[in-house]
């Protein structure tokens, strides 16, 4: 039911409706110079919010709605690490949007806040923030809390990051692995990344049961939560569960390492006597120190994974085999990650094709 009344020099509409508990509530808005304006506004409210309960929901702040959304839909559905990323987005959103209400969020406002965030963050970080906020806003649209998508056609920008070396060349890679003291926990960790391409969490999650040294295989079936210290976790994807073949030198080094470290059945082999597993900052510091000592360009620990894959591709290993060794969810991931190498190899293959045809036809 809608009623209209004049209050001083302006008009007000009042809509009566029942809330979720069946109690009558009123939705009022005034400030219209003409009654026809009030009628038009009331009609739009009823059109955008058929049950009217969602009209009130639009008065909730965007940040509050986002925080409730991640608690309801994400907390028990994603890993603790992923959920922490959603919580970090909430922290950024508080600074950016403050007490802005859902119904006040426009495309222009959203883009302005995104641009503000982009001034101090990389494009990839801005894209991640946008992706998570947009998912929440689309939920608000589904609930008819807002009528349109303020994130539609948002432009993603970001601060340009200095170009850094991401991989080692073959000579530097070979120099690194031959100078690592694999009786040490940190240097064995670096060595395994360089010769297997495994992810950090997969490496530090290895137990003695995962090593089949007689057959030369490492069984990857779990990871270790080195960030929040919650213990063993599932691998990143189902295809991350895999068997990684290793060479005789690596078998020998692992055997020697295990003979000097008490490897208990359910304990990571790279955990020290104080039950500590190196966090990412610690292993990156150890890698940086080793590279500096060998006069090799600095890369991150994750760069060892890229180095391993790049060397295999350059040496003629198929993209499919590299994809399976890395535990990628599909070959498309491998192709997109190493597109520059694949294009370079394709150019070389063209020359080989022409050479074969010339030898055959001439």
Compute how many other C-beta atoms are within 10 angstroms of the C-beta atom of residue 121. 18
C-beta of residue 29 within 8 angstroms of C-beta of residue 41: yes
Q: Which of 194, 205, 325, 186 is nearest to 257 (CA)?
A: 186
Looking at domain 170-344, its CATH superfamily turns out to be: Intergrase catalytic core (1.10.443.10)
What is the SS3 assignment for 234?
coil
Residue 15: φ, ψ to 5°: -110, 125
Q: Summarize pLDDT for 107-166 with one digit per residue, the tens.
A: 999 999 999 999 999 999 999 999 999 999 999 988 888 888 999 999 999 998 776 668
Compute how many other C-beta atoms are within 10 angstroms of the C-beta atom of residue 310. 23
Residue with token string 């939920």: 139
Cα distance between residue 54 and residue 57, in whole Å:
5
Q: Looking at residues 205-227, what average pLDDT do you find?
A: 95
Q: Looking at residues 297-326, what average pLDDT do you find?
A: 95
Q: How much is the pLDDT for 21?
A: 64
Range with the largest mean pLDDT of 4-8, 19-23, 300-304? 300-304
Beta strands in the chain (DSSP E): 2-7, 10-18, 24-32, 211-212, 217-220, 223-225, 231-233, 242-245
Q: Looking at residues 94-99, what average pLDDT do you find?
A: 96
**In angstroms, how far is the first alpha carbon of the chain from the final one?**
91
Q: Looking at residues 267-295, what average pLDDT do you find?
A: 95
Which CATH architecture fits 62-142? Orthogonal Bundle (1.10)
Cα distance between residue 40 and residue 51, in whole Å:
18
Is the model's pLDDT at 76 over the cut of 90? no
Tokens matching residue 174 = 């070979």
Cα distance between residue 115 and residue 119, in whole Å:
7
Is the model's pLDDT at 264 over the cut of 80? no
Q: How much is the pLDDT for 52?
A: 52
Instruction: Write down the domain spans for the chain.
Output: 2-57, 62-142, 170-344
Q: Summarize pLDDT for 14-35 with one digit per residue, the tens.
A: 877 666 566 777 777 888 888 8
pTM over cut 0.85: no
Q: What are the CB-based long-range contacts (under 8 Å, 24+) for 245-254?
A: 245/216, 245/217, 246/195, 246/196, 246/216, 246/217, 246/218, 247/195, 247/216, 248/216, 250/191, 250/192, 250/195, 250/196, 251/213, 251/216, 253/182, 253/188, 253/191, 254/182, 254/211, 254/213
Cα distance between residue 133 and residue 125, in whole Å:
12
Q: Looking at residues 310-330, what average pLDDT do you find?
A: 95
C-beta of residue 117 within 8 angstroms of C-beta of residue 92: yes
Residue 247: φ, ψ to 5°: -85, 175
Q: How much is the pLDDT for 184?
A: 96
């Amino acid at each position: 039911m809608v009623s209209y009344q004049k209050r001083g020099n302006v008009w007000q509409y009042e809509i009566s409706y029942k809330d979720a508990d069946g109690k009558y509530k009123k939705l009022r808005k005034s400030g219209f110079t003409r009654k026809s304006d009030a009628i038009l506004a009331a009609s739009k409210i009823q059109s955008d919010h058929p049950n009217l309960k969602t009209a009130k929901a639009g008065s909730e702040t965007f940040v509050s709605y986002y925080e409730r959304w991640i608690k309801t839909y994400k907390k028990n559905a994603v890993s603790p690490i992923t959920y922490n990323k959603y919580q970090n987005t909430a922290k950024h959103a508080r600074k950016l949007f403050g007490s802005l209400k859902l119904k006040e969020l426009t495309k222009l406002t959203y883009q302005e806040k995104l641009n503000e965030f982009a001034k101090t963050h990389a494009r990839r970080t801005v894209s991640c923030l946008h992706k998570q906020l947009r998912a929440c806003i689309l939920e608000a649209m589904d609930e008819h809390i807002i009528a349109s998508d303020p994130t539609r056609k948002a432009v993603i920008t970001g601060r340009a990051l200095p170009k850094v070396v991401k991989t080692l060349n073959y000579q530097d890679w070979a120099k690194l692995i031959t100078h690592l003291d694999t009786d040490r926990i940190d240097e064995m960790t670096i060595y395994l990344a360089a010769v297997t391409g495994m992810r950090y969490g997969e490496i530090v999650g290895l137990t003695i049961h995962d090593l089949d040294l007689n057959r030369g295989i490492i069984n990857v079936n779990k990871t270790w939560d080195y960030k929040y210290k919650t213990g063993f976790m599932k691998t990143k994807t189902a295809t991350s569960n895999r068997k990684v073949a290793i060479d005789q030198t690596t078998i020998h080094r692992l055997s020697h390492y295990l003979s000097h470290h008490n490897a208990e059945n359910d304990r990571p082999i790279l955990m020290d006597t104080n039950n500590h597993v190196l966090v990412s900052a610690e292993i990156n510091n150890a890698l940086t120190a080793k590279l500096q000592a060998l006069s090799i360009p600095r890369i991150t620990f994750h760069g060892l994974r890229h180095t391993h894959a790049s060397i295999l591709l350059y040496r003629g290993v198929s993209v499919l085999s590299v994809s399976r060794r890395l535990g990628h969810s599909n070959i498309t991931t491998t192709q997109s990650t190493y597109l520059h190498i694949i294009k370079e190899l394709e150019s070389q293959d063209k020359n080989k094709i022409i050479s074969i045809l010339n030898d055959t036809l001439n």
